[in-house]
Each structure stands twice: as C-alpha cells, then as structure tokens.
C-alpha cells in the first residue's frame, strides 16, 4: 500500500530569477542566476548534489533536447541529470523527479531546475507549434488563449451566467493578481491595473482581453531537496516539507466522449482530490493557507477554483467577486502575482510557484507576506481544456 510523499522530502533551498523580457540573457544565464540563489539558500556545495532534473518545454526556442544544458551550464560533476517535459507541468515534473529520488533513498540531495527562454521567437504569445504530422492535417490552429477562451463559453452556458457578469469576475481575477504582482520585485509586470482597463482591453481570443492573458516571459527557478533527516543533520530548523505531489492526465474523455461541457477540468478535480488525500487534508477551503494556481488566463483560474474543491460548482464567480481569493481573503491566490504578472516561461513556472509558497512559509515574502501560513498549494495545467496535464503540489511546514 502506497504511503504517499507526505513529509518524506524537505526543501532546503530555492532560487528564482527576475522574470521578464530578458533580452540580454539566454537560458544559461537564467539557470545560473536561479541556481546561485538556491545553493546559497541551501548552504551546501555543488558537489553535494547527487542527481538533477531539468524541466523545460519548448524545443522550438530555448535549450534544445536532452538535459545536457543543465550540467553543461552549472558544471555539475558528471551526475545523473534527466530532462522532464510535460507541457506546463514540466517544472513541477522536475521537482517530482527530484523528490521521488530522495524519498526512495536512491540519493541524499537532488536538484530540480526549470527554465524557459521564450522571447527569441520574434512575436508575442507562445511559439507556434507545427504539431505532430497528423494534427497538422486536421486540428484547428489553436492558440493557448483561444483554447482556454472556449471555457468561458462552456462555463457561461452551463451555469446560465450572463457573459458580462462572467467577464467581470474574470476581470477581478486579473485585477487581484496585478495588485499582488505590483509588490513583487521579481515579477515581470509590476503595475496595478483598474477593472475598467481590464474590461476594455483589446480582445485576444473572445471573450479574453489582453489583461485576461498572462504575460510571455523568460525565467528560471529551482529547488534543492533532501530527506528531513539530512535536513536536520544540516542544521535546518522549521524547514518546509512536501505534503503531496499529484499528476493527472486526460485520456480522451473530454475531447472524444459525449458528456463534458467545456466547463471544468476533469484532471484538476482528480489531482486535487488525490493531493488532499495524500496530504491528509479534509477541508481544503479551511486548511489550505494560500495557493499559486495556473492562471494562464483569467477564466482558467476561475474554473480551477471549483476543480480544486475550494469553491462550490458554479460559485467561483461569487467567491472571486467577494474577494475570497484576494491577498487578504479566505484563501489568498496568486500572492506573488501569478502567471498573470510573472508570465509563463513554461519549464520554470511550477518551481516559481513553489518558490513563493516557500518564501511565505519561511516568512520571507516581505510586503506580500500573509499571516502564519501552514500549507501552500501549487497547480499547473498544461495543454488545452479538452486534453491536458494537471499537477497539484502541496508543501507546508515540516511536522505541522
């Protein structure tokens, strides 16, 4: 009987670059910037790292195939390094690899690093995919905003919500994240915006306007993990440990069977339920202190609140408008500004979310610090609403 990951892994160091249009640097510089912060934070030496995982997604730009770019850049001493690519969960997948390696007893100390250099394409948005050779013949030229925009039409139809009211709730999602991002020196977009600005922005994919979409940025983030025993031996006190790591992938039900109404994420609903079970959480709305979810688009965050079982079905717009997910609300969400303000360098995002939870749990989030957080949840959603990969991670104070 599997016993889960709860409290088997300690995070002893994390690092995160400034996110943004880093025209002056490439993947190598980004990786070094995050790693140097991380290893100092961990208080260990590079030679102590026994294995590493690199999360990165886009071959079109970026570091190319294989994991080689990480050891070549960091000059890691001929250790095991594995690349993980699983769409937007790529970074969290590298973390999962490192955690499982430590928990299995195969290694003492491991590194998980995510990086993505997106701003070398010459245009906005994510790099256009040429798709696999079959998709090219039949799949519409779906973009990320377009595919997630479909959720808004499905959600509004399912719950009979006036599209204008839904658009307002979506706008509040972005409004709240911009307010948070303005306080974060590492965020890409650091300006608060008004509801009017959001509601009147040019349309990217109906009904998503510019401010309903996250930015496109370059960045890297990383974590060093070990066992709680070694963490204690290293003199760490009040450290952060992993409570749950779950992943759920679509199997064609949404895209090919007859029931799904493009109103929720089947995978998120499953992954979050499993994560709560793994972490021993019974009332997530009461027990989760804070969240960093995959707000690639405002509607994604809105719908995700229900699939994380924090908002009741059909009630996310109300909770959002009530400020439940604001920094001073019941479950603060996107405390660091989210993908909305950090942008989404795909391989880095999952680790960037964990970085904020880690800072908050250590009381190091400065102006954004929320009071006495115990459990932080992170969530990635890669792919499309109808066919996706969802990761949910929960971390918290060890022994609490």
Catalytic residue positions, numbered: 88, 344
Residue range at the interface with other proteins (CB under 8 A); choices 258-266, 268-276, 281-289, 388-396: 258-266
User: In this chain, which of 45, 75, 105, 122 binds other proteins, going by CB under 8 A?
Assistant: 122
User: In this chain, which of 68, 139, 192, 400 binds other proteins, going by CB under 8 A?
Assistant: 139
Residue 80 CB, nearest approach to other proteins (Å): 34
Q: Using the rule CB under 8 A, is 138 a contact of other proteins?
A: yes
Is residue 36 helix, strand or coil? helix
Rg for the chain (alpha carbons), in Å? 20
Cα–Cα distances in angstroms (integers) from residue 42 to residues 38, 73, 106, 378, in the given order: 6, 19, 20, 21
Tally of helices (H runs) and strands (E runs) in the chain: 15, 11
User: In this chain, which of 80, 150, 161, 249 binds other proteins, going by CB under 8 A?
Assistant: 150
Cα–Cα distances in angstroms (integers) from residue 242 to residues 41, 147, 337, in the given order: 18, 32, 23
Is residue 46 helix, strand or coil? helix
Closest of 125, 127, 144, 89 to residue 300, by C-alpha: 144
User: In this chain, which of 70, 109, 149, 339 binds other proteins, going by CB under 8 A?
Assistant: 149
Residue 117 CB, nearest approach to other proteins (Å): 17
Q: How far is Cα 322 from Cα 264, in angstroms, rounded to an integer?
A: 21
User: In this chain, which of 324, 342, 386, 398 binds other proteins, going by CB under 8 A?
Assistant: 386
Q: Using the rule CB under 8 A, is 142 a contact of other proteins?
A: yes
Q: Using the rule CB under 8 A, is 154 a contact of other proteins?
A: yes
Q: Using the rule CB under 8 A, is 261 a contact of other proteins?
A: yes
User: In this chain, which of 141, 196, 235, 371 binds other proteins, going by CB under 8 A?
Assistant: 141
Residue 264 CB, nearest approach to other proteins (Å): 12
Closest of 378, 377, 358 to residue 368, by C-alpha: 358
Is residue 298 helix, strand or coil? helix
Residue range at the interface with other proteins (CB under 8 A); choices 74-82, 125-133, 351-359, 388-396: 125-133
User: In this chain, which of 82, 121, 273, 315 binds other proteins, going by CB under 8 A?
Assistant: 121
User: In this chain, which of 2, 130, 235, 282 binds other proteins, going by CB under 8 A?
Assistant: 130
Q: Using the rule CB under 8 A, is 25 a contact of other proteins?
A: no
Q: How far is Cα 340 from Cα 302, in angstroms, rounded to an integer?
A: 13
Interface with other proteins (CB under 8 A), residue total: 46
Q: Using the rule CB under 8 A, is 194 a contact of other proteins?
A: no
Q: Using the rule CB under 8 A, is 156 a contact of other proteins?
A: yes
Q: Using the rule CB under 8 A, is 157 a contact of other proteins?
A: yes
Q: Using the rule CB under 8 A, is 200 a contact of other proteins?
A: no
Closest of 176, 194, 192 to residue 328, by C-alpha: 176
How many CB atoms lie under 10 A from the CB of residue 383?
A: 18
Return the number of the residue (194 or 251) whose C-beta is nearest other proteins.
Answer: 251
DSSP line for 173-233 = HHHHHHHHHTT-TT-S------HHHHHTSPEEETTEEGGGB----BEEEEEEEE-HHHHHH
Residue range at the interface with other proteins (CB under 8 A); choices 145-153, 177-185, 281-289, 357-365: 145-153
Residue 294 CB, nearest approach to other proteins (Å): 19
Q: How far is Cα 94 from Cα 111, in angstroms, rounded to an integer?
A: 9
- Residues between 233 and 252 with contacts to other proteins, criterion CB under 8 A: 251-252
**Token digits of residue 134:** 């079959």
Q: Using the rule CB under 8 A, is 124 a contact of other proteins?
A: yes
Q: What is the DSSP letter of 386?
A: T
Q: Using the rule CB under 8 A, is 97 a contact of other proteins?
A: no
**Token digits of residue 126:** 């994510």
Residue 210 and residue 202 in contact, taking contact as beta carbons nearer than 8 Å: yes
Q: Using the rule CB under 8 A, is 133 a contact of other proteins?
A: yes
Up-side HSE of residue 111: CA atoms within 13 Å toward CB?
36
Return the number of the residue (75 or 257) whose C-beta is nearest other proteins.
Answer: 257
Residue range at the interface with other proteins (CB under 8 A); choices 51-59, 71-79, 126-134, 223-231: 126-134
Q: Which residues bind other proteins (CB under 8 A)?
A: 121-125, 127-130, 133-134, 136-143, 145-147, 149-154, 156-157, 202-206, 208, 251-253, 255-258, 261-262, 386
């Amino acid at each position: 009987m599997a016993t889960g990951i709860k409290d088997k892994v300690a995070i002893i160091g994390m690092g995160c670059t400034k996110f943004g249009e880093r025209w002056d640097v490439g993947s190598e510089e980004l990786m070094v910037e995050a790693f140097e912060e991380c290893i100092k934070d961990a208080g260990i030496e590079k030679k102590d790292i026994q294995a590493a995982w690199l999360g990165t997604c886009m071959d079109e730009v970026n570091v190319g195939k294989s994991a080689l770019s990480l050891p070549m850049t960091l000059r890691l001493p001929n250790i095991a390094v594995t690349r993980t690519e699983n769409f937007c969960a790529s970074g969290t997948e590298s973390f999962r690899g490192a955690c499982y390696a430590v928990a299995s007893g195969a290694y003492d100390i491991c590194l998980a690093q995510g990086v993505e250099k997106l701003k070398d394409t010459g245009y906005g948005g994510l790099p256009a995919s040429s798709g696999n050779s079959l998709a090219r013949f039949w799949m519409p030229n779906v973009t990320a905003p377009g595919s997630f925009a479909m959720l808004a039409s499905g959600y509004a139809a399912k719950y009979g919500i006036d599209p204008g009211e839904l658009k307002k709730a979506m706008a509040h999602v972005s409004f709240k994240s911009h307010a948070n991002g303005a306080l974060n020196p590492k965020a890409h977009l650091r300006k608060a915006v008004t509801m009017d600005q959001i509601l009147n922005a040019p349309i990217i994919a109906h009904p998503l306007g510019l401010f309903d979409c996250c930015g496109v940025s370059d960045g890297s983030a990383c974590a060093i993990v070990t066992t709680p025993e070694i963490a204690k031996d290293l003199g760490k006190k009040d450290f952060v440990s992993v409570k749950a790591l779950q992943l759920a992938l679509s199997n064609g039900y949404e895209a090919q069977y007859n029931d799904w109404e493009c109103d929720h994420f089947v995978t998120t609903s499953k992954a979050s339920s499993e994560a709560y079970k793994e972490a021993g959480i019974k009332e997530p709305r009461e027990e989760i202190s804070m969240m960093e979810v995959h707000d690639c688009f405002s509607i994604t965050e809105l719908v995700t609140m229900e699939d994380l079982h924090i908002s009741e079905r059909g009630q996310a717009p109300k909770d959002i408008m009530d400020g439940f997910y604001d920094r001073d609300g019941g479950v603060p969400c996107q405390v660091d500004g989210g993908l909305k303000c950090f942008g989404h360098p795909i391989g880095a995002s999952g680790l960037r979310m964990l970085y904020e939870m880690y800072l908050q749990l250590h009381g190091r989030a400065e102006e954004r610090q929320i009071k006495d957080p115990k459990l932080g949840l992170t969530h990635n959603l890669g792919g499309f609403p109808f066919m996706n990969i969802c990761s949910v991670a929960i971390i918290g104070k060890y022994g609490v």
